[in-house]
Structure 1
């Protein structure tokens, strides 16, 4: 197998604008199940304790089950023969993938090529049966759920948030169309600064009861059903992409209002059962019972890979059209022509569509991404799905040579090694 050289990638430069988080190794074996000392509401999100916490979310925070149903799991061909390591070219030298996983705090890696698993490896406290926190990969699953609900005519993307949720009519999202919500082109004044304790995203964590400690001083624990309606509007933002986690939670509330079902049950019926998931997933629940669609889902590595394969197959799982083909075609074919607020290398046209990142690399590559190193990479040209679940020390890396650019470089080197 050829071992191509990986250089500084223009796509990695594009991803510098996306914002992610990194972590330090805890040194715990994959089978370790003892709750670590010092884990609490102020520490669970960050390294080194997050490596255990991310694989034990139902013990850390209240969670609602996303049930897989009674049907037999849909097999992933090649799993029994998949390699547990791969030699790739890294900085010009042949390097074991296992070494790079350890250096970048990757807890689980599954690579599917042309529909067949070729590499599967676990580290930290993750096992094939354990779920792992997905952070904002949850947003992409929320978008797919919205696609299914829209296909049944239960929501109209031209209608506004206020049309479905009167409680949000006077909020920062009230007059935005669902189409703008899916593309995060709404006019809310949401601030997604993970490093600032007074940012909206961190105040939401405190209001939900998901984060405690000194940074939450002065924030009442109320939950999203109270917190989201109080977020104001910034009219000049409407129509321009600004990344905002709360916007995905707004979409989940719309889906609940439109269907009369709780969000976790919608994901179960419309995604998890239809892709033939192997295990139940879960989603964290705030103090008011709101399920956190923006970043609270936790699922097994293999089931997350099934989501990636669903996307690569334009919404089809086996013989079942789970998501309308046109919805995925719309995502893959976006030309990135609308304004983009982040740095982008020459020759790339990145975009954000239906809670999916489009790399704009000319190859149709798209990704679901979450802080602390979660990613589903879908490469239509290469026929590859790559899933990494990680436990970086903080949201944007938190360790030397750990973060979005390095993870993207790793993804590209894996794709290259499989050509």
Structure 2
């Protein structure tokens, strides 16, 4: 079936993205993971990847266009000749004029909308974990408004606007489609701030008798617009030796000294979420000998801070010299491979580089090499410079993880790993090697 390509939210307060260039042309065959276009925001320039196999069709935006977040810019169809089936007006369903929704227009306060952001290119919905502000509260643009969880990450989302909370349109625990409004921020303090669930906000108003008459007169196929089905939850298969859990569940388990492997031993289904920690808390404590034998020890957590100027200038130079073909993902993979080789003596370590929008393995796997993320990597590098994070503590994973976040003009590099992955001396050396290359990329070439 056709797959819509939308303008993603590359930043939490981003309203639109500038298409710098298309990397594929209409009619080209594409595979999931292929770079389709290059998008620029006020913070970053990123390549947007295809999320399905097929042919690029119905391209509606050109290079240089500034496109609102959530708008469809192209379609990936099953065949190259699946052109504008909807271009013929006769093929389009006749729009049925509906009376204005009086309750929506009168009840909904005026102001600027805050939408559910896309934290990943394949993300359809986000789980609203908690609100950090209440209706009527004053907020600044940089204040954390809510926390959202996807299958890959948990993020704090800023308000994006100065003002007052006029309405919260979803409750904690609601799964909200990407691009849907979750809050309204007004310039003036609201006299009657509102709070409602996502289901109530999305519920259509009852049709008036007049509209009911029109619906009966119109052909059934044209009476209502098709409703996009809610995506079914993704079932993740467990991988032997790897514990699948949400980032927030890992972080809380680490902070409380809880061992997720005990849920595995007890037969609880993966992936684990925050609600599963309550079951873990009620389990009887183990004696010291049992805990030591099961590896219940704290993960190593090291951080370094360097200036972002060196990396930015080097990337700009490299893109100019290589006709814009250089990218940060390949450069960071090179830094990681050289750093790990210097510390551990690996001849050719496997490095997995993850961003908010996809991942790439270095060296690249053969076409018939089916691998599943981190269990086949010697080191994982998470480039989260496009996010609003300024620091994190996630806990050990299947391989050592180097995470890169940006706070103003400063890059924060964090290494997290299990004690058995790297000893203390090797962990310190790895962070020092990688941080040195970030601050002075020329060191990597010498």
How does the TM-score come out when normalised to structure 2? 0.21
Greater relative contact order structure (CA < 8 Å, 6+ sep): 1
How does the TM-score come out when normalised to structure 1? 0.22
Structure holding more helix per residue:
1
Structure holding more strand per residue:
2
